[in-house]
Every structure is written in C-alpha cells, then in structure tokens.
A = this chain, B = another copy of it.
C-alpha cells in the first residue's frame, strides 16, 4: 500500500476478477453501438524493456512504492458483432489502471480466433438440430439403449484457400445409456460420421463419411454394416463400471510434511524455495508461466512456458488429414485446464493457484486450482562413501513442482516444471487420457493404427511440443553454443593411444534451427560469454539436452507439415522480439501454414551472439497406440533438462542436509533406524 492508498501490485501478478471486469468494461464502452463477444481476457505482461528495470530494482532490494513501474495490463480477445456489418475479431491491450485501451488490432478475415467452449456448445446444439445430421444417423442401427454423442473438434487445416470460413467438425460416438452412468465411456462406440458446421451460418453444411475398412481396402467407400456397433464392446474406466472391480492389495502411501512446505508464496505469486525465486502466472494460451527465475540471487531465465503443441494424425483417409490439433493455439486452453484436487493430482502439502476465465460476456470467473505447487522426493541426489572409513554421506533430491493439467476432449496432458536443489530445471510432459479411435470393420486391421478394442481403431499420431525458454544467464546478453564430443583417430601427436576424443564448441551467431544429435552427444549451452566461471575459466551457462525424438513425419508439402514448421527442428535460437511467444504463430486455427511462428522469427536472420535471445525446444512422441493404451493410457513421459553448466563454482546442492529420515520403517516390524546424520553405513569390505 503506497501513501496514496494505491495497492502496488506487481506487473506480473495474476489478473484479479476486478481487473478482468475493468478490462471488459473498457472494451464494452468503446463498442457501445455493437455487441461484443469476449474470448479471452488475460494478463498482458509488460514489454521486457519496461519490466527489466523494475526487476533489477527488486533484486537489488531498491524497489520502493514510488519506484517507476509499468502499469497493469490486460490482453483482450473479442468479436465485435455489429448489426449489418460483418463481425470482426479484435485483439486489444487495456491499461487497467488508466481504464484505457492502449493498443488495438482488427484481424483480417483469413485469421481465425482460437475457439471457445461456448462455440463448442453452439456446435453441439446446431448439430443435434440438423436435419442433415439426423437423416444421416438413421442409416445406422444403433444397439438398443444407445444414444448419440457429439464431440466437437477444431476443423483442422483448410484444404483450399477459397473455403476461408470458420468451421467446426464433430466426431460422433454412441453411449450405452443402459449403464445409467453419465461417465460410461462412449469412445468405445465410434461412428463414421463427421458433421461440419459453418459458424457464420450456424448450420451443418456437410457430413464427411470416413471409410471403416482396413488393410487392402480402398481409402474411401462404405464397407460397414448397418449394425455398425454390433462388434464393439464396452471399455469402461470409471471404477463402478469395471467388470472385475478394483485391485484390493494396494496399501496407503502418504506424503507427510509435519512442518509444512519448504516454499513460500506471496500475494503476487512470488515463489521462494531452496535458493530459487520466481513468479508464476496463468494464462489461457500457455497455462502456467514461470518468470524471472533466479537461483541464489543470480538470474537464470527471464521466462519459461510451454509455447505450443500439435497433434497430427496419420490416417490417410479423408477427412482425417484434418485431424490435427494445436492444443495451445487452437484451444482456448484456459477453459480446458483441470481444477486440480487435493489428494488426487499430487501428494503432500499443496499450494493451489486460481486462474480467471471469461465467458462471452467478458465477466471474470474464478477458475479454481488451475496450477498446483508441491514438493516431492526423487530419490538420491548425491552420495559418496569413503571406503576407508566406511562413512557414507547421502543427500536426497527434493524437487519443487509447478503442475497444470489440460483436458482436450479425449486426451489429457500433465505439464510439470520441476526445480531441483542443484540449480536444475526439468520440464516434463505426460500424455494420458483416452486415445482417439475410429470405427473399423470386424476382423480387420489397418496400417495407420492399432485395434485397441473390438471395432475401435486407435489411429497413429504424433505429439510435438515446444517449450519456449527466454534465458537470462547472469544478464540478458546470452549465446547458444552447440557442443559435441567427437571421435578422433589415433595419431602420435594428439592421440597416441586412441582414447582421446574432441569436445567441439560451435557458437550459434545467427538465428537458426538446429537438431539433436545424441550420437555426437550434442548438447546446447546457453552461455553468457562476458562472464567466466572463476574455477574453470569457461563462460557461465546452462545446458539443454534436447530430447532426440522423432520430428514431424508428414510430407513437407502437406498442410499438416506446413502449419507446423516449428516441428522441423529440435531447437531454435531466435532474437528476442516483443510478444513473440508462440511457436506456430499467434493464430493456428484452420491455418494453412505457420505464420508469425518460430520459423518466421528465424528467417529474420538476426544476430544471436551475446544478444537477447530466445531458445525454443521442440520434442515429441510418435504414438502408435498399444492395446495397453486403452481405454485410458498410462502416462508417456518426456523430459527436457535445463541444468547449470559451469554456472556455479561447485555442486549447488552440497549444502543440502543429509539427515536420516526418522519415519522410515522396516518392512518386517517397525524398527526404526538410528538417529543422526546419513550415514555411517559401511560398504561390504
């Protein structure tokens, strides 16, 4: 509270409901002659040039209530629907403190705003009411007691430019109502019907009819019987519907933190834990975002977020080439973020962060528990036993986890940012949920998927993620250096016995896309070439080991590939540009090619040597489903490590206590260990 009575909220503090509504009001007033339909109202982060001076004051302990600071800003996405005029889609920035719109952009017709759940709702209603749809469904004999379920999906990339409208498509399933359980798994009963809605007309304009054949069958044409679901079988996952019930021999495992968590969080979402200090925000596009990460008072990253992901499907039959989600860009992620629950999504002592979402009227609504924060134990972090004395010193690896989870129709993704005590960061994605299936005729198999349940073909697909890393390694002038370990032939002068190998550093001096090469142990170091490690004499830095996963498989000439050129390299290095946050560009819905994404950024051919740079790490999962992925798949985990490399002057976790845990017990009996430090255990000498 300043002397003026104004609460000085941090420019990175989460938007409140009041601030959200304030931003809404500013926009509504500017369009009093029209209807405004809101899509997103989110915190607009200040420009880096405006924010950095404030952060520097803050870290220097010199921030005062009257220090200059950037105003609180909101980004607002909305449609203006005005009488006879064609609706337009706008993106604006509102200065909340000044109650003023400070920037405004009316997007051209060929740009499509990300979709909202409101639109999905409209689609479902339009579809249900459609005579075309109803007539089509009469073609099938559904089993007694089954009802139709409409699953809205983004339309995917447009096939031609001349159909530049806003479309929706639906995947159609049937649900066994006889279960009397609203969570009976309808995905087990897929129907080969895909209604298409023209949004401007609110009308089902076409119904696509994918084939249901398999290997050897034509890619088009009807082969299915009228009783198309007769060979399908239930695949329930809710406990009360499992035919065999639940396993009964799993005993409780509790994480108990009697003294509370080791972290602290203030009202402006400043988090401090084990020498780490950072802020977290939530927005509808990226979910949880980490800002201004410092370790032990030294700057590491300016910003860290999941930038984009795309999920292209590989079934060659029309219209499945359009089955390609951009779950961040298309999605209106904010509405798909799970409200996490105590005791379910993590264990121990948990801090939850709420988000704010809006409906079409722009009124802010609290989205509770969209991010959770907790600590976990991840085994041994370091250990050494002196075999002479028998004394072991062992220190455990505690991690701080910032987690959010999204549900996108059938699928879910768990995103974890894990900080450790040795100055390392792990970005982890877990794919789970229900794999997308389509109907396949009895006794057939197909080269583009796997039969995971009777009549249910899970199509092969990929998930390509992009993590945006805005580094600030001891400052904002940073350089990415590729390092490889390369074999060297035996030679009398430098390698007389053939055991020497060369470690080769190559600076990335101009914006570029580069690839993982694990056979060369290729790693990328983000270094500050102006600061040398006093011990090793090498530039201080952090190391990224890009997961060497398969890149996008679709033909480079395909629409799938063109819309996601970010997926063509494992790592991109670009020069920082304000508001350039999204790997596949700001607007992905129905795109025909990536625009304003990372490939455009690289094409600027800018200097990236000791510059304000951004690093984009792309990795993925080629997911040819297993039967074990049905009906809900066990997590597939990918991890991106970002670890210090000659940034510190020794192991930063050396001062973590190696205290013996007093609550551990022997399996046979409850004998407790001795008191005191870990550990005086001997080796077996």
Contacts and interface: CB of A to CB of B under 8 A. Distances in A.
Interface stretch (A17-25, A200-208, A379-387, A596-604): A379-387
Nearest to A235: B650
Interface string A623-665: 0101111111111000000011111111111111110111111
9 contacts: A246-B657, A254-B661, A321-B499, A338-B392, A339-B681, A341-B678, A383-B412, A387-B407, A630-B650
A344 B501 contact: no
A668 B267 CA distance: 12
A123 to B, nearest CB: 14
B259 A663 contact: no
Nearest to A630: B650
Interface residues of A, number: 200
Interface in A454-498: 454, 460, 483, 485-490, 494-498
Given A498-B557, A516-B518, 15 more contacts: A183-B389, A238-B391, A245-B655, A252-B258, A318-B496, A349-B665, A369-B681, A379-B414, A382-B635, A384-B410, A384-B434, A397-B635, A626-B645, A627-B649, A631-B650
A52 interface: no
Nearest to A323: B499
A624 B251 CA distance: 43
A199 interface: no
Given A254-B661, A341-B660, A555-B495, A448 B500 contact: yes
Nearest to A561: B498
A682 B497 contact: no
A646 B394 CA distance: 40
B660 A499 contact: no
A320 B262 contact: no
A318 B397 CA distance: 38
Given A246-B656, A629-B651, A664-B255, A518 B684 contact: no
A379 B346 contact: yes
Count the copies.
2
A347 B387 contact: no
A389 B407 CA distance: 13
A97 to B, nearest CB: 27
Contacts of A502: 447
Contacts of A257: 251-254, 665
Nearest to A322: B497
Contacts of A445: 536-538
A344 B490 contact: no
A116 to B, nearest CB: 10
A435 to B, nearest CB: 10
B673 A343 contact: yes
Nearest to A522: B550
Interface in A367-386: 367, 369-370, 373, 375-377, 379-386
Contact of A679 (B341, B381, B452): B341
Contacts of A367: 684
Contacts of A172: none
Contact of A628 (B423, B432, B498): B423
A255 B379 CA distance: 12
A350 interface: yes
Given A237-B384, A535-B627, A651-B629, A682 B377 contact: no
A222 B636 CA distance: 54
A352 B344 CA distance: 30
Interface stretch (A4-12, A103-111, A130-138, A308-316): A308-316
Contact of A250 (B239, B370, B398, B671): B398
